[in-house]
Amino acid sequence: MEMSVLWSLALYFLLVCNGVHVEASNHTHRNLQSLPKEQPYRTAYHFQPLKNWMNDPNGPMYYKGVYHLFFQHNPYTPVPGNIAWGHSISYDLVNWVHLEPAISPSEPYDIYGCYSGSTTILPSGKPAILYTGVDLNNGQVQNLAMPKNASDPLLREWVKSPLNPLISPVDDIDRSDFRDPTTAWQGPDKVWRVIIGGRINAVGLAFLYQSKDFVNWTRSNKPLHSSNKTGMWECPDFYPVRINSQNGINNFAQDKFTKHVLKASFKDQDHYILGNYIPQTDNFSIEYDFMETGFDLRYDYGKFYASKTFYDSAKKRRILWGWVAESDTALDAIIKGWAGIQSFPRSIVLSANGRQLVQWPINEIEKLRTNNVSFEGKELKQGSVLEVSGITASQADVEVSFDLPNLSETESIDPNQVDPQQLCSQKGASTNNGTVGPFGLLALASKDLTEQTAVFFRIFKRDGKRVALMCSDQSHL
Ligand SMILES: *[C@@H]1O[C@H](CO)[C@@H](O)[C@H](O)[C@H]1NC(C)=O
Ligand SMILES: *[C@@H]1O[C@H](CO)[C@@H](O)[C@H](O)[C@H]1NC(C)=O
Ligand SMILES: *[C@@H]1O[C@H](CO)[C@@H](O)[C@H](O)[C@H]1NC(C)=O
Ligand SMILES: *[C@@H]1O[C@H](CO)[C@@H](O)[C@H](O)[C@H]1NC(C)=O
Ligand SMILES: *[C@@H]1O[C@H](CO)[C@@H](O)[C@H](O)[C@H]1NC(C)=O
Ligand SMILES: *[C@@H]1O[C@H](CO)[C@@H](O)[C@H](O)[C@H]1NC(C)=O
Ligand SMILES: *[C@@H]1O[C@H](CO)[C@@H](O)[C@H](O)[C@H]1NC(C)=O
Ligand SMILES: *[C@@H]1O[C@H](CO)[C@@H](O)[C@H](O)[C@H]1NC(C)=O
């Protein structure tokens, strides 16, 4: 019943303007493959398993010509529970083949779940999974799994190490907040390093462990980094980026042409900081710390969490995956049969000025564009709404350019006084009158506009330069 109501609801894709008039030029939409009737909101562009629950991306890698994506998965229902590592493979990061879960709860050290972790390609060329298990005592421990047959490029079967658990929460570590090992890296001394997310009291941190053999791990006397402004860190990620380059580099690289990124997931967002990492001393000297006013860097300001990067050696780039959670109720998830998607895979590099990261969907995604709809040279008068016809509203890949003929009265913004995130998320932000904007798109809109999701822009002046604020309406989340 519920589903047929959803299906019969007519939805539109619209252009809107609430500030000065703007002109939308060379505005093209690419409609997508037809959506199966029984699954009207299943995505076509984004990664999803065939059904049921998915959250964090785990251990993405490129191995013997194949891209692997593992993910936190409940294979039985569309709500959290029975957490296993779902496993899918692809030759182009766009079309996926879904395999059996790689690892599932089975042993005393992971019986209550195979939680997040990473893969590391060892010098032998074989990949290894490090993951968090929740053990019989509900403690979080770190475990190892290796491929049963490393000659199989699809790596269908994985064998858990008889030495598990490798790392247990002892001493001052809270056993309920100790998880998500990163891809490991070797220093010039050939000693392995890995970090694990956690907290000590209210201080969030990345525990650092070292090992000569990947099996016997010793806790370093200081964490890689910590912060008392963040709470518990989940899903840390730590990797080098090249200065002044579009290429990525592997997790071992470190020289004067690199900076290091430390990402941690907390307060429902993925935050990162930049710094210099010295592997000889494991000293990470940072530029700005987490949550510092004006430099609170994040990957994304929408629904995007528990992300993970990997180095794609085939195309010499670093790719970012992140979990896009839903705000549906458990009942809605059960009715539709699935919950959770992954973001587009995005290529991620250091900006030209070296102060932040920049991202773009990998260009393979453009393969999915079909049914080009063009909508050009339209004038958007103050308060107007234009319908873009010829596409389904539920998904479209949009390229849009707005021409703003008169910017003489652009209002000023001082980021030290006004938090742009706050401005975007204010109630009615998409309809408030600015001097230039908001203008933008209404996706999934009903004819009377009572149902809609706005993606919108507002132009400001900052330090004499014009800046655009891009927002998406999250008031329904
Ligand atoms: C859109 O128009 C602008 C300005 O005329 C031009 O610079 C740009 O290349 C065009 N983009 C596309 C995709 O046609
Ligand atoms: C391992 O995988 C390779 C490649 O798929 C296959 O040829 C070989 O038979 C497999 N070995 C075993 C023992 O299954
Ligand atoms: C594990 O490594 C530590 C530090 O290198 C060493 O002291 C200890 O003997 C090792 N334990 C085993 C069982 O190899
Ligand atoms: C938090 O950490 C900063 C610097 O690391 C320190 O100056 C400050 O006193 C700490 N605050 C608390 C409440 O521990
Ligand atoms: C580590 O980096 C800090 C700055 O973040 C610096 O003060 C300290 O001297 C460095 N320590 C070593 C051993 O290099
Ligand atoms: C879509 O149509 C527009 C306008 O006709 C054209 O400029 C653009 O190149 C087309 N894009 C694709 C992917 O076909
Ligand atoms: C731009 O807008 C301002 C204020 O509304 C107006 O005074 C000015 O004439 C406009 N300029 C043009 C070129 O339309
Ligand atoms: C926005 O401003 C325009 C003209 O400046 C005015 O006509 C309109 O009523 C205003 N809308 C709102 C919602 O304040």
Question: Mind listing the pLDDT tens digit for each residue in 342-398?
Answer: 999 999 999 999 999 999 999 999 988 888 888 888 888 888 889 888 877 777 888
Other CB atoms within 10 A of residue 463 CB: 9
Dump the DSSP string for 26-66.
Answer: EEEEEE-SPPPTT-TT--SSS---SSEEEEEEEEEEEETTE
Give nearest CA residue, ligand 6 atom 14.
Answer: 372
Query: Is residue 40 assigned to a domain?
Result: no
Q: Is 214 found in the same domain as 84?
A: yes
The ligand that comes nearest to the alpha carbon of residue 30 is 6
Question: Mind listing the pLDDT tens digit for each residue in 270-290?
Answer: 999 999 999 999 999 999 999
Give nearest CA residue, ligand 5 atom 2.
Answer: 285
The ligand that comes nearest to the alpha carbon of residue 376 is 6
Q: How far is the CA of 211 from the centre of ligand 3 (A)?
A: 9
Please tell me the chain's helix, strand, coil percentages from 3-state DSSP, rounded to the nearest 5. Answer: 5, 45, 50
Residue 17 confidence (pLDDT): 67
Task: Report the pocket of ligand 1 as residue ranges, CB < 6 Å.
Answer: 25-26, 399, 401
Tell me, what CATH number does 301's domain have?
2.115.10.20
Three-state DSSP class for residue 395: coil
Q: Measured between alpha carbons, how far is 324 from 339 in angstroms, rounded to an integer?
A: 10
Whether the CB of 384 sits within 6 Å of ligand 6: no
Name the domain boundary from 308, 343, 378. 343
Query: What angle (nearest 5°) sits at the alpha carbon of residue 391, between those of residues 387 and 393?
Result: 75
Query: Is residue 462 assigned to a domain?
Result: yes
Asked if residue 345 has a cis previous peptide bond (ω within 30° of 0), the answer is no
Whether the CB of 371 sits within 6 Å of ligand 6: no
- How many domains would you assign to the chain? 2
Backbone angles phi, psi at 391, to 5 degrees: -135, 160
Cross-sheet strand order for the sheet of 127-134: 114-121, 127-134, 140-147, 158-160
Residue 152 confidence (pLDDT): 97
The ligand that comes nearest to the alpha carbon of residue 382 is 8
Q: Is 313 found in the same domain as 222?
A: yes
- Full residue range of the structural domain in which residue 440 is found: 12-32+366-476
Nearest ligand 8 atom to the CA of 432 is 13
Residue ranges in the chain whose pLDDT is less than 50: 1-10, 25-36
49: β partners: none
Q: Please report, as a single letter, which amino acid is at residue 13.
A: F
Residue 27 confidence (pLDDT): 38
Residue 34 confidence (pLDDT): 40
Q: Is 311 found in the same domain as 373?
A: no
Would you name the residues annotated as active-site residues? 56, 135
Whether the CB of 374 sits within 6 Å of ligand 6: yes
Q: Is 164 found in the same domain as 241?
A: yes
Q: Is 421 found in the same domain as 301?
A: no
Q: Measured between alpha carbons, how far is 113 from 106 in angstroms, rounded to an integer?
A: 9
Nearest ligand 8 atom to the CA of 433 is 1
Query: Is residue 6 assigned to a domain?
Result: no
Q: How far is the CA of 282 from the centre of ligand 5 (A)?
A: 10
Query: Is residue 230 assigned to a domain?
Result: yes
Whether the CB of 401 sits within 6 Å of ligand 6: no
Q: Is 395 found in the same domain as 295?
A: no
Q: Is 256 found in the same domain as 172?
A: yes
Q: Measured between alpha carbons, how far is 38 from 57 in angstroms, rounded to an integer?
A: 26
Residue 341 confidence (pLDDT): 96
Q: Is 259 found in the same domain as 227?
A: yes
Q: Is 162 found in the same domain as 288?
A: yes
Question: Mind listing the pLDDT tens digit for each residue in 159-191?
Answer: 999 999 999 999 999 999 999 999 999 999 999
Q: Is 400 found in the same domain as 322?
A: no
Query: Is residue 3 assigned to a domain?
Result: no
Other CB atoms within 10 A of residue 200 CB: 17
Ligand 5 pocket test target in 224, 274, 277, 283 with most atoms within 8 Å of CB:
283
Q: Measured between alpha carbons, how far is 66 from 63 in angstroms, rounded to an integer?
A: 5
Query: Is residue 391 assigned to a domain?
Result: yes
Q: How far is the CA of 157 from the centre of ligand 3 (A)?
A: 30
Three-state DSSP class for residue 98: strand
Other CB atoms within 10 A of residue 332 CB: 14
Q: Judge whether 24 and 402 are in contact, CB under 8 Å.
A: yes
Query: Is residue 419 assigned to a domain?
Result: yes
The ligand that comes nearest to the alpha carbon of residue 278 is 5
Q: Is 296 found in the same domain as 201?
A: yes
Residue 422 confidence (pLDDT): 80
Tokens of 310: 């990997």
Q: Is 330 found in the same domain as 371?
A: no
Q: Measured between alpha carbons, how far is 197 from 56 in angstroms, rounded to an integer?
A: 14
Q: Judge whether 361 and 346 are in contact, CB under 8 Å.
A: yes
Q: Please report, as a single letter, which amino acid is at residue 10.
A: A
Q: Is 265 exposed, middle or buried (0-12, 13-18, 19+ CB in 10 A)?
A: buried
Tokens of 91: 């030759």
Whether the CB of 216 sits within 6 Å of ligand 3: yes
Distances (CA, A) of 315 to 64, 91, 126, 248: 13, 12, 20, 9
Q: How far is the CA of 212 from the centre of ligand 3 (A)?
A: 9
Residue 112 confidence (pLDDT): 98
Q: Measured between alpha carbons, how far is 297 from 293 in angstroms, rounded to an integer?
A: 10
Residue 35 confidence (pLDDT): 44
Q: How far is the CA of 199 from the centre of ligand 4 (A)?
A: 15
